[in-house]
Each structure stands twice: as C-alpha cells, then as structure tokens.
Amino acid sequence: MNFALREVCQVSMISLTESILRRASRLERDLGESIEGMDCYIDNKVDIEEWSVREVLWHILEDPEGGLPKAVELIINGRLPELTIVADETHLTPERESMDLSAIRQEIREYFCRLEAVLSQASDGQISRITTSCWFPLKNYREDRTSEVLLEGLFLRHWTDHVKQLRALQLAFSSSGG
C-alpha cells in the first residue's frame, strides 16, 4: 500500500476497499459534473489533435479493454495471468459512436456499480497482494501489478486527469458557444 493511502486508512480506520470506494464516489460525482451540459458538444473538438468528450469517456471506461472492474475481479479470483494495457486508445466502435451522452452516462453508472460490487466482495489482502502481469505493448514493457496499484493509477489518478481534461472542454465550449 502506498504511504498516503496507508496513512488515510490508519488514521480513519477504514479499509483499503472502503477508501477506494469513497474516492471512486467523489470521482463519479466530479465526472458527472464535468460532462454536464455537454450533450450537444459530445463529438466537438477544441483542436484537431485533441480528443472529443466521447473519445475521452470511452478511453477511460475501456482502459483496459473491458474496463478495470472486470480486470480487478479476474485478478482477485486468480483468473487473469496477464493484462494488456494499450495507452492512448479511444476504444470507439460504431455502436459507441452512435450513443448519445445519456446512454454513455448509463455506461458510466454501470461501471461504478460493477466496481462497487467487485470491491465489496474483495478483501484488502486480495486487493493489495494478488498480482497480474501487466503488458504495455507500445512501450514493450511488462510489470507485475496488484489491483491496488491499478486502482490507484489506472483508475483514480488517470480518471482524475481526464476529468480535468473534460472540465477544460466544458469551459471552452461554454465560453465559445460551441
């Protein structure tokens, strides 16, 4: 467990999974706020090199492919010997390209519900000790990681960074009118 998280858990005497779930709840709220009013801008881009709201959302929902709740469930059950993580993928499919923001909001809600279900069935020991081999093909790099490390990095920090990106898009579109 990293020092900051260990300190939070020791001071407040909450479990690792409870700490992650609390922060996930705040992240879900922040994400919802960051896409509020973005329905008509879902595919707009501020710059051709930047991602749209849709691309950002599917990137975080499907990184890694299938979503992190599924990966964590498989890791703690010992059924995921290797997890492939491909950086900078939007994971768009024709079906996802046709979804409106309301449908994507439902996907986000289901993601958080599944995460809560998976973590509520896991012990702190499973989250912090069981590892999987993570393969990063674009970097030609492999590393063993626990679910805790994946949840801290690939979920909490990564999503927080993208919420900031979505807020910047929200601000840009609201100030430019589209």
What pLDDT score was predicted for residue 175?
Answer: 87
At residue 28, φ and ψ (nearest 5 deg) are -60, -45
Per the prediction, the chain carries an average pLDDT of 93
CATH code for the structural domain at 16-176: 1.20.120.450
The Cβ of residue 154 has, within 10 Å, a number of other Cβ atoms equal to 20
Q: Around 92, how many Cα atoms within 13 Å sit in the side-chain half-sphere?
A: 14
Cβ burial 22-60 (10 Å sphere, 16+ → b, else e): ebbeebbeebeebbeebeebbeeeeeeeebbbbbbbbbb
Are residues 178 and 41 in contact, defined by beta-carbon separation less than 8 angstroms? yes
What pLDDT score was predicted for residue 13?
Answer: 79
What pLDDT score was predicted for residue 12?
Answer: 60
74 Cβ partners below 8 Å, 6+ apart?
A: 80, 132
Are residues 16 and 1 in contact, defined by beta-carbon separation less than 8 angstroms? yes
**Cα separations (Å) of 83 from 1, 27, 72, 150?**
20, 24, 10, 11
Q: In the chain, which residues have pLDDT < 50?
A: none
State pLDDT tens for residues 3-37. 555 555 555 678 999 999 999 999 999 999 999 99
Q: In a 3-state reduction of DSSP, which class is residue 66? A: coil
State pLDDT tens for residues 165-174. 999 999 999 9
What pLDDT score was predicted for residue 128?
Answer: 97
Residue with tokens 């779930």: 21
What pLDDT score was predicted for residue 126?
Answer: 97
Domain ranges of the chain: 16-176
Amino acid at 112: F
